[in-house]
Structure 1
Amino acid sequence: MKRTSEFQKHSVLREDRDDGTILLRSSHALGPVVDNTGVWLHEWAEKAPDRTFLAERSGAGWREESYSATLQKVRAIASSLLARGMGPDTPIIIMSGNGVDHGLLSLAAQYVGVPTAPVAEQYSLIHGAHGRLQHAIELVHPKMAYVVDADQYSEALALEALNGIEILASRPGKNSKVTAFDELLKGDGSVDIDAAYAKVTPDTVAKILMTSGSTSAPKGVKTTQRMMCVNQTQIADALPFLRARPPRVVDWLPWNHVFGGSHNFNMMLANGGSFYIDDGKPVKGLFDRTVENLSMVTGSLVFNVPVGFGLLLGALQQDAALRQRFFSDLDLIFYAGASLPQEIWSGFEQMAMEVKGEIPLMTSSWGLTETAPATMMQSEPIDRSGVVGAPLNGVTLKLIPDADMRCEMRIKGPQVMPGYFEDPQKTKDAFDDEGFFITGDAMQFIDKADMNKGMKFDGRISEDFKLLTGTWVRAAQLRIDMLTCLAPLAADLVITGADKNQIGLMIFPDLSELERQGFDLSDDNGAYRCKLLQGEIHRRLAERAREVSGSSTLISRAIVLSEAASMPEGEMTAKGNLNFRKVLTRRAALLDRLYDDADPATITL
């Protein structure tokens, strides 16, 4: 099959230590790195002043900001921040989702060394999640808070934790205590903005990004200019077509998360690209907006999570005109968050060949908030999902293998964080005695004899557990397998069995899919007892049981939960990931029912 896009060929150097530890790094040298994000903004404002950089929906069309207009507004906003006495010790908390004003404020703050702390908009808009917002405010101690609409966010803005903090809003409404965003655009000629910009170094903290909180309370990751700038050089080294022509995205991924807000946003800025903000999402009721946006503008790069690609594939299959537009200029399909189901991968390959006779680079990478994020990438074309590739230029991987060559992953490189915000103990605990960041993730080699074949993600070390028999269960990989087995009935699930004799499942069903298939559900105090649904799950588990061997992968029981995972209760993070420990703790009674063979809600083999 003909494939588009230039790429950097993997070239991995391996060092084996006497204790079994393996060090991997790329033989390619890291390319030139700029000092701060302002360098990119100045470069493209000069080279392509009229090219669209940021855009968002406005009525029937788009509000578009060119590179020259962006630079002008960034400098005006930055001078207004300086005139307020803001600097490295006065962060701005951004409580709204993606938007042009959000982007301008972030860049302006970075331009003069004021950290921003973007948090998930759900923390402000969902009453029960205000505790997460409160935690972020108390951690960061901001001097300013931004929301897009003061009326929409009025309940969150009334939090006592925000008393004495200047509130900034693009739409201030009737709240006289709120500063209109347009006020900052007026600028302030009394400050020396060039002098302030000159003080921004690679070590300047640009953002404080909150971790997901899937295993503990969210931590603040100090994200420096160096981290972001190095990471874009690493990515463009691996994908040189980014430098060959300006990229373009229509993207919804949230900017409070490192994937959307650092990886994707900075990729456009670093390479003179255009970022069209998709105000849709891959959920029921909002995905139609994404399709509408794509009917107006399509990207040369597409980033999404697997569920988003599943919905997109379905939409493309139904619309020939959209299909033609989508693939006509496409260089890259990039998934993250979980492994892309192979049938979706194959569907995009087949469709690309039918439309234009070639396949864009389909790939993924691996990284964390603490690593800016990209650390490994599959830059060479492959024909299957699940591979996260080889180390990017400048990165050293430290792999600590077990008997099965499953490796604990540790990282060293210029894109790794200097530490957690105002938490020296957690910072100390995050690094080993050689200065490698301890990720807690596990990897496996695709081919133990050839490091250039890359690696695949093999779950979180902390998610593994032992059965009473002493058998280890690799919960993360097993969860992926079971989601495939139970698709599309299960929206998500939790693997159980720690200190039990058998492995079980607590299943969060996809209610819209169950409704579509005609399952008549009846609630039984936290669990569903629909005989038809239980029978279908039993059939699939029994069929799978005939194909597996050993207690470490055999699922012997399941229960279907009738209450969705709760973000206010901490069961779900803002990224939509389950906090497995919280689910098991909060639903301890249901966990007991799962292991009661006499309970009518329990499905047993």
Structure 2
Amino acid sequence: MSAGLIETRREDGALVLRTPVALSDDRPDILDRLAAVDPQRVLMTAPGPGGRGSITYGAALAEARQLRDWLVAAHGLRPGARVATLLPAGIAALRLRLACLCGGFVHIALPPFPFREPGGEEATRLLAIAGPDLLVRPQGHPAAGLVLPDRLPPAPACADAPTRPEECCAIFFTAGSTGAAKGVAVTRGQISACQAAATALWPFLAEGPVLIDWMPWNHVFGGLDNLFKVIWNGGTLHLDRPPSEHTIGATLDLMEAVRPTLYIGVPLGMKLLLAALEAAPERQPRAFARLRHIFLAGAAVEPALWDRLAAFARRSAPPIALLSGYGATETGSTMCLSPGGVDRPGLLGWPLPGHEVALCPVEDRTEIRFRGPVLGPAYLTETGETPLPLDAFGFYRTGDAGFLDRETGCLRFDGRLSEDFKLASGIKVRTGALRSQIIRACAPDLEDMVLGGAGREALSAVLFAAPGADRDRVRAALAQWNRENPASSTRIAAIDWAEAPPEVARGEVSAKGQIVQSRFLRNHAALFEALAEGTRGEPLLPARG
């Protein structure tokens, strides 16, 4: 696109950014979009115990209405009733999701880990927030709730509930990386605005994307945005197993079979996919025959991975465009998307059409703040509704720093304000930027790292080695880094090696496969204390005499 962002400077110094692409006022309900697709087109395929199953658009809508009718007749649900679910992503979960839309019920996708042991403190707290009228669980799950029958008994037919854009239709929980997980209300209007805006900025979506996705449906990215991106544009969603060394071969099998047109990845999945293709390059031509776009969240990609992915995309024939974006649970998943392919990591793109980003001065950086129709109405907590953190202009405070990259014309990520901390000297440590720079300096041996040192005289780090890493080479790279970056806010005084991956069950890994820095620091406070005291780990700086 030749036109750039529209800029306005406010009196308070904030830079307000808008895209020149218009957002249509004609934004039908997601059910109307579903009903308009050829009923014979396959909406979804998913792995199951008897092999991969599939469901068409026509069957999905008909079965969702049958389930809605049964829920009304057998369980007395009425518009506004809350239906919580622990069903994993799949055809049964799709049927329930659409039944809630047909009945005007509020669908609540519960995070699975707290409910592995029902009655635990976190599970009890989440249920208190959700306040479900009905809890649907999978067969064999220990939680108390309803198992949907394989065959529904007959029930009187109901009409679809009237729809209103402001109607709450879903609740998703934040990841809890900066505190306790909060519920976020999502409206039908948010869904329509998000998908209409995405298609306006990415017209290729209107062709009907063929997407392979594994993201969990309790996460707003997979369970709201990816699902409805496919439905809004009449595409097909092929559900996959979560990426691992054991499943990536099956992922390539699926790619060869369905030939996706769009791949939406996260760092963990992209690393595994690139490694698999490097080991078996003969599989790429068919698997990538129709693939023209790969999307990754712009703030999530480490430079070393980006370099590998960019080189791969350039070698592909025809070349693959790398797309980026930025979002949050509070915005129904999306705030920014790149208007086209991007050539470097950290770019977040443009605000969605019909939306605004304000870059507001906060100390020595500018915070990304966001306003527009995809912004959720409220948080839900144990005490009821709580307003989102809005500023005086009605912009959502993301807690992330960013700036306008003049060279590319896109918003660029500049770290999470909440992850920054100060040393005992009062000097601030720019955690996000520092991590990225050190990981790149240690490439390809360092997978990730967590920085500590708040309130201390020096920085320490826990290192996650890449497979096959040369630890001596990492030590040498860090020694070189310290010589070139001797300031107390950049040099690393002591390290320890993580001998196990971060724990998903303890909240140390996000749904995108990234380490949640703040949670890891809280969970391993004693380790970082020992590093600071010099009673554990390896010193990188000479002891003071």
- Work out the CA distance in 2 between the residues paired with 1:267 and 1:402: 34
- What CA deviation, in whole Å up to 9, does each residue of 1:132-154 have, x standing for no partner? 33332221121222233x22x2x
Residue of 461, 469, 477 corresponding to 1:505: 461
Partner Cα separation in structure 1 for residue 328 and residue 154 of structure 2: 36
> 2:218 aligned with 1:251, yes or no?
no
Offset from partner CA, 1:346-404 (integer Å, 9 cap, x none): 54455455552x32321110110111121111122232222111111111112113575
Q: Which residue of 2 aligns with 1:588?
A: 525
Q: Is the 8 A contact 2:446 2:474 kept in 1?
A: no
Of residues 263, 280, 283, the one that matches 1:319 is 280
1:173 is aligned to none
* Aligned residue number for residue 188 of structure 1: 155
Aligned-partner SS, 1:167: coil
Q: Which residue of 109, 122, 125 maps to 1:132?
A: 122
| 2:82 partner amino acid | P
Give identity over the alignment, percent: 28
In structure 2, which of residues 83, 100, 107 is the aligned counterpart of residue 109 of structure 1?
100
Is it true that 1:433 corresponds to 2:392 in the alignment? Answer: yes
Cα gap change, 1:132 to 1:361, in 2 (>3 Å): farther
Q: CA deviation at 1:322?
A: 2.3
1:182 counterpart letter in structure 2: R
| 2:375 paired residue among 403, 408, 416 | 416
> In the superposition, relative to structure 1, how do residues 428 and 601 fare at CA in structure 2: closer, same or farther (>3 Å)?
same
Distance 1:351 1:252 in 2: 22
Which residue number in structure 1 is paired with residue 170 of structure 2?
A: 207
**1:193 aligned partner, one-letter code:** A
User: How much does 1:407 deviate?
Assistant: 1.3
Q: Which amino acid aligns with 2:219?
A: H
Query: Which segment drifts farther, 454-463 or 216-225?
Result: 454-463
**Are residue 100 (structure 1) and residue 37 (structure 2) matched?**
no
Q: Which residue is 2:203 aligned to?
A: 240
Of 21, 42, 60, the residue aligned with 2:35 is 42
Match of 2:228 among 255, 266, 273: 266
Structure 2 vs 1, CA of residues 328 and 43 (structure 1 numbering), >3 Å: closer, same or farther?
same
**Counterpart residue identity of residue 478, structure 2:** L
- Do the aligned partners of residues 187 and 335 (structure 1) sit closer, same or farther apart at CA in structure 2, a change above 3 Å counting? farther
When residues 585 and 421 of structure 1 are mapped into structure 2, their CA distance, relative to the original with a 3 A threshold, is closer
Deviation per CA, 1:468-492: give whole Å up to 9, x if none.
Answer: 2221111122223333344555554
Structure with greater contact order relative to length (CA < 8 Å, sep ≥ 6):
1
Does structure 2 retain, via aligned residues, the 8 Å contact 1:363–1:385? no
Distance 2:132 2:462 in 1: 40
Shift, 1:577, TM fit: 4.6
Whether the 8 Å contact between 2:210 and 2:262 is mirrored in structure 1 is yes
User: What corresponds to 2:7 in structure 1?
Assistant: 14
Paired residue for 1:557, among 494, 502, 522? Answer: 494
Preserved CA contact (<8 Å) 1:122 1:129: no
Q: Structure 1 residues 348 and 500, CA, compared in 2 at 3 Å: closer, same or farther?
A: closer
Q: Deviations over 1:392-443 (max 9, x none)?
A: 1111112113575x31111110000000125688733611222211111111
412-421 or 116-125: bigger deviation: 116-125
Task: Note the 1:139-218 alignment, pairs <5 A.
Answer: 139-148=129-138, 150-151=139-140, 153=141, 155=142, 157=143, 162=144, 166-169=145-148, 180-183=149-152, 186=153, 188-189=155-156, 191-194=157-160, 196=161, 199-218=162-181
Deviations 1:512-541 (A, max 9, x none): x2xx46xxxxxxxxxxxxxx84x4442121
User: Aligned in 2, Cα 1:59/1:571: closer, same or farther, shift over 3 Å?
Assistant: closer
Tell me, what secondary structure is at the counterpart of 1:28? coil
Query: What is the distance in 2 between the residues matched to 1:589 and 1:218?
Result: 24
Query: Residue in 2 aligned with 1:472?
Result: 428
Structure 1 residues 425 and 558, CA gap change in structure 2 (3 angstroms): farther
Q: 2:354 aligns with which of 380, 394, 399?
A: 394
- The within-5 A match list for 1:325-474 is 325-336=286-297, 338-342=299-303, 344-352=305-313, 354-356=315-317, 358-402=318-362, 404=364, 406-421=365-380, 427-428=386-387, 430-447=389-406, 453-474=409-430
2: CA distance between counterparts of 1:569 and 1:312? 26
* 1:25 correspondence with 2:18: yes
Secondary structure at the residue paired with 2:380? Answer: coil
- For structure 2, the 5+ residue unaligned runs are none
In the alignment, structure 1 residue 80 sits paired with structure 2 residue 70:
yes
Aligned-pair CA distance for 1:52? 0.6
On the 8 A contact 1:32/1:233 being kept in 2, the answer is: no
CA 473–311 in structure 1, closer or farther in 2 if over 3 Å, else same: same
Aligned residues: 540
What secondary structure, in the 3-state scheme, does the structure 2 residue paired with 1:442 have? strand
* Residue number in structure 2 paired with 1:526: none
Residue 330 to residue 561, structure 1, CA distance change in 2 (3 Å): closer
Query: Alpha carbons of 1:313 and 1:424: their partners in 2 closer, same or farther (altered >3 Å)?
Result: same
Tell me, in whole angstroms, the C-alpha distance in 2 between the residues paired with 1:88 and 1:30: 29
Q: Distance in 2 between matches of 1:52 and 1:63?
A: 11
Deviation at 1:504, TM superposition (A): 1.5
Q: AA paired with 1:204? A: E
Cα distance change on mapping 1:145 and 1:604 into 2, 3 Å: same
Distance 2:131 2:36 in 1: 33
The separation in 2 between residues aligned to 1:167 and 1:128, in whole angstroms, is 14
Q: Kindly state the Cα deviation for residue 120 of structure 1 after the two structures are TM-superposed.
A: 2.9
- The amino acid that maps onto 2:16 is L
| Structure 2 counterpart of 1:225, one-letter code | R
Rate the CA distance shift 1:435–1:72 in 2: closer, same or farther, 3 A. Answer: same
1:23–1:397 CA contact under 8 A, matched in 2: yes
**Is this contact kept in 2: 1:93–1:116, CA < 8 A?**
yes
User: Which residue does 2:60 correspond to in 1?
Assistant: 70
Asked if the contact 1:122/1:574 (under 8 Å) is kept, the reply is: no
Contact 2:169 2:186 in 1 (8 A): yes
Q: Distance in 2 between matches of 1:321 and 1:545?
A: 43
Summarize the Cα distance change of 1:559–1:342 in structure 2 as closer, same or farther, 3 Å threshold.
Answer: closer
Secondary structure of the corresponding residue to residue 421 of structure 1: strand
Is the partner of 2:43 in helix, strand or coil?
strand
Q: Is the 8 A contact 2:299 2:326 kept in 1?
A: no
Secondary structure in 2 aligned to 1:335? strand
Instruction: Give the Cα separation in 1 of the matches to 2:486 and 2:253.
Output: 47
2:112 corresponds to which residue? 121
Paired with 2:385 and 2:450, the residues of 1 have a C-alpha distance of 27
**Partner amino acid, structure 2, of 1:192:** C
In 1, are the aligned partners of 2:274 and 2:309 still within 8 Å (CA)?
A: yes
* Distance in 2 (alpha carbons) for counterparts of 1:306 and 1:337: 11
Worse-superposed segment, 465-474 or 84-93: 84-93
Deviations along 1:543-577, whole A, 9 cap, x unmatched?
Answer: 22233353332222212244553445444456555
